Chains A and B, each alone.
Chain A
Amino acid sequence: MADLEVRERPELDVDRRAPTPTKKRRGAARFVGIVAAVIALVVLFAYAFEVTDVDLAEIQSDTRQTQLVRILRSLAHPEFLTYELIETNLDAQIMMPCPANGFTPPAPDTGGPYVVTEPTCLEPGGEISVSGFGLEPNARGDLFYVPPSGDVSIRLGRFLADADGTFVTTVDTRERAETEPQTIRAVTTIRVGSIFNPETVTKTDPVTGGQTTVASPRISATALDTWDKIIETVFLALIATTVGTLIAVPLSFFAARNLMKEISTTMTSLTLAILAAPVGAAMGLLLARGAQLAGEVLADNLVVVIVGLVVLPLVILRAFRWAIPPVDVEAPSRGQRIARALVLSVAGTAGILTLFLLAALMTRVGNALAPRLASFDFLALFVSSLGDILRLLIAAASALIAGGILMFVGSRAGTSLRAHLAPGVTKVVNLGLAAAAGAAVSVLLAQAIGWLYEISDPTKTIWIPAAIGALIGLLGGVVAYGKTSVGIGLSIYYIARTIFNAIRAIEPLVMVIVFVVWVGIGPFAGALALALHTTAALAKLYSEQVESISTGPIEAVKATGATRLQWIVYAVAPQIVPPYISFTMYRWDINVRMSTIIGFAGGGGIGFLLQQNINLLNYRAAAVQMIAIAIVVASMDYLSSRLRERFV
């Protein structure tokens, strides 16, 4: 080591002593570069100022500041409590314009509170000074102009009494000329009761004349609405997070490079799998539909449903026990395999039927219980909704599973086909299969596009796409010609990543607009939008966790002869559970924050109320909602960070 250092030092010295011309030039170029960058930055920000209308003069203008103060004061007085108010009117008479011999109003009763004006008569619209005496200390209120008819009152301004209950304030009158005396009215409002000393007030309904007793102060209607909506918000976020998590967990594996990189297959297997998948999906759908019909017929009879739900699972369990023996000693023979596959598919169909029966039972039980549970009827309705959701999911799930199974079978068929064919023949067969698979995928895509754009011409939706797809498939086959393995895993990885990134890029606030059109304004639309965004975001976060796991345990478990499913369960899953939980909590936190504003676009939750109140300029009510949001978000933040600490 020491030897090396001695050798290196002289070279360094040579470099320092004689800086080469190129170095000087490089220094100059760097200086020019920095100057250019600074100029570019200045231009950039100048343009940004222009575009964003930065206007400091506007901030300082009086009217703007008055408005700001008004809003801030309203926000500082959130409307948590409603007080009953007692209004006192103090009137002083004036004349506008002055009569020829002047005007002397009747003398006020100086025994109680009273107001006087100076002058007592004036030209319409002139300034008038209003003085009040004998009011409550620090009383405040508004000044109004009331014409002789007494049918309207026009607000002129406000007043604030001092500690002696006296005020003097100058206001502008209105341009209204009358021959009768007019009135300047000071209205003081007094709140009944205080937080520490609430009182009850008996109110008379002006229409019916009925009397009601209310407390003052009492919790305001705004506060009650806010409470309702904040609960809705938190649970909207919970539903969205749960649904998103359930979908994101399996999807995240497809976006994990380290797992997908290893998945490669032969061209024969790949193409056969692609060809088999849609067939499987169609079969799954057919099976589900058949089972649903059978289920509906059977569901009429409650006894049949219950007997079915007891017997079928036992039979299915039995079948699985037989077809999947716990210990796998010798490779099963072909006949055994076929028998097992048959038994498993029959058991699978029976499973679908069982699920339909279960869904029917849940709906029935839910509907039957709902009227009897009174205020807990939401529990019964939940059971019934779960039944509906189950019914919806079964068809999709069985299509997916059957598609997956047939893909697996196709891939296996490919392997055995390769084993039986000569390598040269395989290559040619591969080309044909690649063309067929390309055509199949292309036709499916074209059908989807045709549906979207309402094209019904079979030339456009079947024959041309088939030809193009076959050509692309053939091209792919030629590219992969003679290769023993195709890295299909990485392709899936890139596709999954692209989809997740695209979905993640759309804000839930935008997504909710589409869902509002679909399912209507309300929290359900918000939950769906958030769930979709959560799925994409979590799938990406999760997959990054999968990518960072240590490979040692995977290697060790693989070496024991474990299958892919086994090493994912025993070597990958234990490593990712804590970060998955942590990210889910974090996401719930984010979703609560998002759901507070998703109501702005019609997605339900507290945002809906907040937006309404802002639009109505009801800032005191808006303040209640803003405070509620702040409390919920802050406590979720705290809670989720504490919980996350425990899991990581």
Chain B
Amino acid sequence: MLSVEHLTKIYEDGTLALDDVSFEVDDREFLAVIGLSGSGKSTLLRCINRLIEPTEGRIVWNGIDITAATQDELRRIRRRIGMIFQHFNLVHRSKVMTNVLAGRLGYINPGLAVINRFPKSAVEKAAAQLVRVGLEDKADRRADELSGGQQQRVGVARALMQDPEMVLADEPVASLDPVLAHSIMRYLEQINDEDGVTILCSLHFLDLVHRYADRAIALYQGRIVFSGLPREIDDARFKDIYGQEAERVG
């Protein structure tokens, strides 16, 4: 179980990105994080694996205090938390295979990086992940030769390489068209259902939230303004989350 307690993040320029955020996520849950751009969704997800250092508050995962972990402990925590990004964040000039293998780095002795080698078991595992996302024939292509949807599938395969117990997905489909969006979301659903991986996914479109999420929390200016089942988001709640002028589309 992940529990976020009184999490606050103030950036160096004084921006209050997260303001006393507290919530819990059960194991195997699919939690959607919604809110306007700039409401703190990305900051929240990055605080959980400490890509961004929280200013205050605690994040406890399966009894381990992530916020208090040393660099070495953090490495071991991070390797069990997969992450998927809006802009895929692949290394463009590297091969698809290398990008997927990068997901295994947390399990590999850092000394091996000097000679740029991965153990055979990792290479086999990466090949299997590529089969899973249907890109086995693209393994030797450069990452930037792939289309957006394919790149995000590489991103998913990279996260799966970590044998994650939790996946943080930061707007995973915001750069993709609706058809591709569903294909990526179905991978996340599959990982959630079959592998029992907890998923925290920030999303823009409410229909995706309704379709895939077990539960949703909503941020507005760094505060949690809603927490509950997706179907509970009625018009009044919607205006709380997206502002009074907002209108529902789609």
Shortest CB-to-CB span from A135 to chain B, Å, is 74
Whether, in the assembled complex, B249 has its beta carbon less than 8 Å from a beta carbon of chain A, the answer is no
Per the 8 Å Cβ criterion, residues 79-97 of B in contact with A are 79-83, 85, 87-94
Whether, in the assembled complex, A164 has its beta carbon less than 8 Å from a beta carbon of chain B, the answer is no
User: Which B-chain residue is minimally distant from A344 (CB atoms)?
Assistant: B111
Q: A569–B49 Cα gap in the complex (Å)?
A: 21
Shortest CB-to-CB span from B191 to chain A, Å, is 16
The answer to whether A552 touches B109 (Cβ under 8 A) is: no
Shortest CB-to-CB span from B111 to chain A, Å, is 4
The answer to whether A561 touches B98 (Cβ under 8 A) is: no
Residues of A contacting B90 with CB < 8 Å? 553, 556
Whether, in the assembled complex, B107 has its beta carbon less than 8 Å from a beta carbon of chain A, the answer is yes
Whether, in the assembled complex, B62 has its beta carbon less than 8 Å from a beta carbon of chain A, the answer is no
Q: A417–B155 Cα gap in the complex (Å)?
A: 39
Residues of A contacting B107 with CB < 8 Å? 327-329, 561
The answer to whether A560 touches B112 (Cβ under 8 A) is: no
The answer to whether A324 touches B83 (Cβ under 8 A) is: no
Q: A565–B110 Cα gap in the complex (Å)?
A: 7
Find B93's partner among A329, A562, A578 (CB 8 Å cutoff).
Answer: A578
Q: Using a Cβ–Cβ cut-off of 8 Å, how many residues does chain A contribute to the interface with B?
A: 31
The answer to whether B51 touches A559 (Cβ under 8 A) is: yes
Whether, in the assembled complex, B72 has its beta carbon less than 8 Å from a beta carbon of chain A, the answer is yes
The answer to whether B162 touches A570 (Cβ under 8 A) is: no
The answer to whether A561 touches B75 (Cβ under 8 A) is: yes
Using A324-B112, A326-B119, A559-B78 as known contacts, say yes or no to A574 and B94 having CB atoms under 8 A apart. Answer: yes
The answer to whether A569 touches B162 (Cβ under 8 A) is: no
Whether, in the assembled complex, A331 has its beta carbon less than 8 Å from a beta carbon of chain B, the answer is yes
Residues of B contacting A560 with CB < 8 Å? 78-79, 82-83, 102-106, 158, 161-162
Residues of B contacting A328 with CB < 8 Å? 107-110
Residues of B contacting A553 with CB < 8 Å? 89-92
The answer to whether B72 touches A331 (Cβ under 8 A) is: yes
Using A324-B109, A327-B107, A566-B105 as known contacts, say yes or no to A561 and B76 having CB atoms under 8 A apart. Answer: yes
Using A327-B121, A566-B113, A569-B116 as known contacts, say yes or no to A559 and B108 having CB atoms under 8 A apart. Answer: no
Whether, in the assembled complex, B70 has its beta carbon less than 8 Å from a beta carbon of chain A, the answer is yes
Residues of B contacting A570 with CB < 8 Å? 91, 94, 98, 102, 105, 113
Shortest CB-to-CB span from B145 to chain A, Å, is 14
Shortest CB-to-CB span from B113 to chain A, Å, is 4
Interface residues of A: mostly helix, strand, loop or mixed? helix
Per the 8 Å Cβ criterion, residues 218-262 of A in contact with B are none
Shortest CB-to-CB span from A48 to chain B, Å, is 46
The answer to whether A562 touches B102 (Cβ under 8 A) is: yes
User: Which A-chain residue is minimally distant from B120 (CB atoms)?
Assistant: A326
The answer to whether B108 touches A577 (Cβ under 8 A) is: no
The answer to whether B119 touches A327 (Cβ under 8 A) is: yes
- A317-329 CB contact bits vs B (8 Å, 1 = yes)? 0001000111111
User: Which B-chain residue is minimally distant from A325 (CB atoms)?
Assistant: B109
Using A327-B119, A553-B90 as known contacts, say yes or no to A561 and B79 having CB atoms under 8 A apart. Answer: yes
> Most chain-A Cβ atoms within 10 A of its Cβ — which of B78, B93, B111?
B111
> Most chain-A Cβ atoms within 10 A of its Cβ — which of B77, B98, B102?
B102
The answer to whether B113 touches A326 (Cβ under 8 A) is: no
Whether, in the assembled complex, B114 has its beta carbon less than 8 Å from a beta carbon of chain A, the answer is yes
The answer to whether A327 touches B110 (Cβ under 8 A) is: no
Q: A415–B69 Cα gap in the complex (Å)?
A: 12
Residues of A contacting B161 with CB < 8 Å? 560
The answer to whether A569 touches B114 (Cβ under 8 A) is: yes
The answer to whether B75 touches A563 (Cβ under 8 A) is: yes
> Most chain-B Cβ atoms within 10 A of its Cβ — which of A328, A553, A560?
A560
Q: A234–B84 Cα gap in the complex (Å)?
A: 50
Whether, in the assembled complex, A609 has its beta carbon less than 8 Å from a beta carbon of chain B, the answer is no
For this complex, 5 residue pairs linking A to B, each with C-beta atoms less than 8 Å apart, are: A324-B111, A325-B109, A555-B89, A566-B113, A571-B91
Residue ranges of B at the interface with A (Cβ–Cβ < 8 Å): 49, 51, 70, 72, 74-83, 85, 87-94, 98, 102-114, 116, 119, 121, 155, 158, 161-162, 168
**A-B pairs with the 3 shortest C-beta distances?**
A561-B106, A561-B79, A552-B89
Given contacts A326-B112, A327-B121, 13 further A-B contacts (CB under 8 A): A325-B109, A328-B109, A419-B70, A553-B91, A553-B92, A559-B82, A560-B158, A563-B75, A569-B114, A570-B91, A570-B94, A570-B105, A571-B91
